[in-house]
């Protein structure tokens, strides 16, 4: 495996481990073990645990941006938003991605480096949605707000479709 392939494997393993244990609760040893490398090798790829966490956050935003680009294709307006929303909703079926997103927000509350990066990347994602869709600010607010609400629904196991959600919120399973 090349160094770049190892780096990718480490980022994927870090996403899983940080997603489960958070920044503070995850050891670099557990990440190295998941990948099958030594801890010193891990630190040759990433100089610190913080650098690895930040790179993992970057990777998550990169993946999301690529997902939106693919989902929208050459569509714009409400059609693009709907396609990006459907793609995002299906992404949340992956607990590892969902947990890493939630850990990012939780860590950003306490860590200024993570907060700065998350703020920067969320802003970039916002502008990307504007560029792809061409919709106004209110529609972007609604789109991003729905995405955050979907995160919460996915985390607590609520259905993320209108037909199923109404039943659950009315006490029916």
Tokens 């999301």 belong to 64
The pTM assigned to this predicted structure is 0.90
Taking 70 as the threshold, does the pLDDT of residue 104 lie above it?
yes
Taking 90 as the threshold, does the pLDDT of residue 126 lie above it?
yes
Residue 84 to residue 16: CA distance in whole angstroms = 24
Question: For 49-63, how does the pLDDT look when each residue is reduced to its tens digit (9 = 90+)?
Answer: 999 999 999 999 999
Check: CB of residue 105 under 8 Å from CB of residue 118. yes
What is the average pLDDT across 87-106?
92
Question: For 132-173, how does the pLDDT look when each residue is reduced to its tens digit (9 = 90+)?
Answer: 999 999 999 999 998 998 899 889 888 766 666 555 554 555
Length of the chain: 173
State what percent of residues in the chain have pLDDT above 70. 92
Question: Which DSSP letter does residue 173 get?
Answer: -
The whole-chain average pLDDT of the chain stands at 91
73 conformational bin, left if phi > 0, alpha if psi -120 to 50, beta if neither:
left
CA atoms within 13 A on the CB side of 76: 6
pLDDT of 43 reads 95
Structure tokens at 47: 């100089």
Tokens 């729905």 belong to 146
What proportions of the chain, in percent to the nearest 5, are helix, strand and coil?
Answer: 85, 0, 15
pLDDT of 166 reads 52
Residue 87 to residue 68: CA distance in whole angstroms = 7
């Amino acid at each position: 495996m090349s160094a770049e392939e190892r780096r990718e494997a480490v980022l994927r393993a870090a996403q899983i481990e940080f997603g489960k244990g958070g920044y503070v609760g995850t050891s670099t040893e557990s990440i190295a073990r998941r990948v099958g490398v030594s801890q010193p090798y891990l630190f040759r790829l990433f100089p610190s645990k913080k650098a690895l966490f930040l790179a993992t956050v970057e990777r998550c935003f990169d993946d999301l941006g690529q997902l939106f680009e693919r989902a929208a294709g050459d569509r714009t307006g409400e059609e693009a938003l709907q396609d990006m929303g459907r793609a995002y909703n299906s992404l949340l079926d992956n607990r590892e991605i969902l947990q890493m997103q939630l850990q990012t927000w939780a860590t950003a509350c306490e860590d200024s480096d993570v907060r700065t990066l998350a703020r920067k990347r969320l802003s970039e994602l916002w502008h990307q949605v504007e560029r792809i869709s061409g919709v106004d600010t209110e529609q972007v607010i609604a789109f991003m707000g729905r995405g955050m609400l979907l995160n919460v629904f996915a985390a607590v196991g609520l259905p993320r479709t209108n037909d199923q959600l109404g039943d659950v919120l009315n006490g029916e399973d």
